[in-house]
Chain A
Amino acid sequence: MEMKNTLMRSSDSGTGSGAGLSNLGGSPPLEKFFYDNKIVRDFGIASVSWGIISLLVGVLIAVQLFMPEANLGLPFTTFGRLRALHTNGAIFAFVGNLMFMGVYYSLQRLCKTRMYSDKLSRIHFWGWQLIIASAVLTLPFGFTTSKEYAELEWPIDIMIALIWVVFAINFFGTLLTRRTKHLYVAIWFYVATIVTVAVLHIVNSMEIPVSFLKSYSMYAGVQDALVQWWYGHNAVAFFLTTPFLGLMYYFLPKAANRPVFSYRLSIIHFWSLIFLYIWAGPHHLLYTALPDWAQSLGTTFSIMLIAPSWGGMINGLLTLRGAWDQVRTNPVLKFMVVSITCYGMATFEGPMHSLKFVNALSHYTDWIPAHVHIGTLGWNGFMSFAILYWLIPRIYNTKLHSTKLANLHFWIGTLGMVFWTVSMYISGIMQGLMLQDFTADGILKYGNFLETTTQVLPMYMLRALGGLLYLSGMVIMAYNLFKTVKSGVLIANEADEAPARTKDYSEEKHLTGYLRHRIIERKPMLLLVVAALTILIGGIVEFIPVFTIQSNIPTIASVKPYTPLELEGRNIYMREGCYNCHSQMIRPFRSETERYGEYSKAGEFVYDHPFLWGSKRTGPDLQRIGGKYPNAWHYRHMFNPRLTSPGSIMPNYKWLSTNDLDISDTRASITAMRRLGVPYPAGYEDRALEDLKQQAVAISDNLKKDNIKVADTKEIVALIAYLQRMGTDIKGNKTDNK
């Protein structure tokens, strides 16, 4: 039965003791209502359960980076496919569910009302779990868009949009039916999250379906990269940061039993943060083919982000003034202090990475995952644990089963985080320095990329150990919370009382200057509009020139569309997640042009739907791999990388030699690409399969010369065709700036 928002006016019923008291002296009558704790509990259970699964997958793929056979020889347990499951699971399942738990708990109490609709709450909960289950059922099987943190295919994208709208209606419905006049700062952050995530998701998910679980990004090359990293950066900002800042502003004062240090600072913090964050996406693309002016914007705004980020951190830490003695004994505050400190570290490190000279060293190395995991394991993870330890005993009206176990979790989690990040800092800096190192004779000191990989393997082992420790802490927490739940009873409908909201603000007029920001703080729809405008400015300024002005992406006459076989090979490259370990973007450094060849040009990627530049080099860049090795080398390398590259940590892709190439969507792919502007001639889709067959036979025949017998119908043939094409378009050609 749906619990009504207002069950009764306690003054009318005569049973509410509070009502009687409040009416003495002419106070407005109190209304009795009930908070929905069941939805809070459900999201909490989902967060812990998915969190353990996501981190288990994380540990498995961490082990594969020094022991590739840990993929068990199966395609769907291999790093390239599972990495997306790990990141999506950690972000949207673990952190996402926790965020919803915290929002549903705090919003009801800050608005003094039950959620707008119990039905919408349930649809939101089950819809979100269905989305996560869909990710589990698609990503390991290679159904991916290949855009980082947005890998889910188009039907799931639509489902995400719909469920997000359900959440938004329920959220704003609650705000509009609230009993309080004022929207507390935590709610501003929630509003910014809802509006920005919607914008990010819709813009970045624009894609043309080819089949039920296959689509191509509507954007190509440089434009796709800009949109993707505008999304990727701001997914961190508005899914992992702003909602958690909102949670911090609610749960930290509650846990410390002290008001936030400075409400004024929170105003500056909020608006500056949401205004600045949206501009900073291009810092993920420094020294790439993205236009210089866009890179400059990304760098400058990233550096300025330190100000609001540290404003938030300081506001959080100083909220504990006078309560630091509690930190020694209270595990909730311990987790919160480390969490906020990690937020400060990550938000200092991010801007430092945006400095071009630092980025030149750090980008593509393990330094970046180290930075990311300070944020996710420290900021998000520890804040999540703190909220769970604080909240679960309350909604079960009991006390935490074991403070000792919570303290053990704190120390084991901290130790795990230290192992994880310090090993990756060392590994990342080592990689960066080795890859740029020249001998006195001007020759690359580590000419073979693999020489740098093998030296950091001990660090990869330490990372896996760190992940295992952190996961162990989560298992301990799950046990502790389970025992806590068993010792209490869920207060599914928690009673509270408050007077109805009036729109009489006359009593506030004596407050000088009070109305200026206060107007926004009590008008949720105005707050929504102003927040939306604030976050849209940066994106529009960056996107319009890149999309409309041709000189930003000089065309290259010799760059041609992929052949049908190459296109199918590219699909396999995406399916196996090769972009997780290999970039396709050679930066204009001597150390890179010596190692890989001519640096990448914007015009080379105009037919790349989606772009596949990658963001991490566990293996070498592949932009100029085409023509570098014979077909037979590629065949042997994919069959068992250690045959051609002893010591390689790349997994075997033996299934590519036995799987038949699926050409059922080739015609549809050509048609979709033409709709996206790729200049295939009219009616080419009718000849595509003939051309595909011809090219496949040629590669198969070529392999026979090296005593490799493989049918021209196998997937490996298509992949070889793609690899041999990569970066070959511009050899001996010059940019045409027309």
Chain B
Amino acid sequence: MYKDFIKQQSLAELYAIVSLCIFVVFFCIMLVIAFMQSKTATVEASLIPLDTNDDYNTKIQSSNV
């Protein structure tokens, strides 16, 4: 059955629709997961790169970079 399905070239369009459906489902799942995250958690996570003991900025005040 699987081979017969592939053999029909007219099903090329079906592949496009199926792939669109796969993406929409995947995208919706990711949306749900992302918005299930608490605000506090995401804010905390987004601050990670800035949580540093790097004192370069205070040392090199005169630098524009």
Contact = CB atoms under 8 A, between A and B. Distances in A.
A291 B63 CA distance: 58
A330 B45 contact: no
B19 A279 contact: yes
A271 B65 contact: no
Interface in A378-407: 389-390, 393-394, 397-400, 403, 406
Contact of A260 (B16, B26, B35, B46): B46
A268 B50 contact: no
A300 B46 CA distance: 32
Interface in B13-50: 13, 15-16, 19-20, 23, 26-27, 30-31, 33-38, 40-43, 45-50
Contact of A514 (B35, B38, B46, B52): B38
Nearest to B32: A516
Contacts of B59: 397
A184 B49 contact: yes
B53 interface: yes
Interface residues of chain A: helix, strand, loop or mixed (majority): helix
Contacts of B47: 259
Contacts of A263: 37, 42-43, 45-46
Nearest to A404: B64
Given A267-B33, A301-B19, A398-B60, A296 B41 contact: no
B12 A399 contact: no
B41 A511 contact: yes
Q: How large is the interface on B (under 10, 10 to 19, 20 to 34, 35 or more residues)?
A: 35 or more
Nearest to A551: B7
Given A186-B49, A268-B27, A497-B53, A399 B65 contact: yes
A512 B62 CA distance: 44
A249 B16 CA distance: 32
Interface in A271-288: 271-272, 275-276, 279
A549 B3 contact: yes
Contacts of A267: 30, 33-34, 37
Interface size class of A (residues with CB under 8 A): 35 or more
Interface stretch (A46-54, A73-81, A250-258): A250-258
B37 to A, nearest CB: 6
A182 B45 contact: yes
Contacts of B19: 279, 296-297, 300-301, 304
Nearest to B24: A304
Contacts of A331: 64-65
B51 to A, nearest CB: 9
Contacts of B65: 330-332, 389-390, 393, 399-400, 403, 406
Nearest to B59: A397
A297 B15 contact: yes
Given A264-B35, A517-B33, A180 B15 contact: no
A258 B19 CA distance: 37
Given A257-B50, A332-B65, 7 more contacts: A185-B45, A259-B43, A263-B42, A265-B34, A301-B19, A496-B53, A551-B7
Interface of B: 3, 6-7, 9, 11-13, 15-16, 19-20, 23, 26-27, 30-31, 33-38, 40-43, 45-50, 52-54, 56-57, 59-60, 62-65
Interface of A: 106, 109-110, 180, 182, 184-186, 249-250, 253-254, 257-260, 262-265, 267-268, 271-272, 275-276, 279, 291-293, 295-297, 299-301, 304, 307, 329-332, 389-390, 393-394, 397-400, 403, 406, 496-497, 508, 511-514, 516-518, 521, 545, 549, 551-552
16 contacts: A106-B49, A263-B42, A264-B42, A276-B23, A293-B6, A295-B12, A300-B23, A301-B19, A304-B23, A331-B64, A390-B65, A393-B56, A496-B53, A517-B36, A545-B6, A551-B6
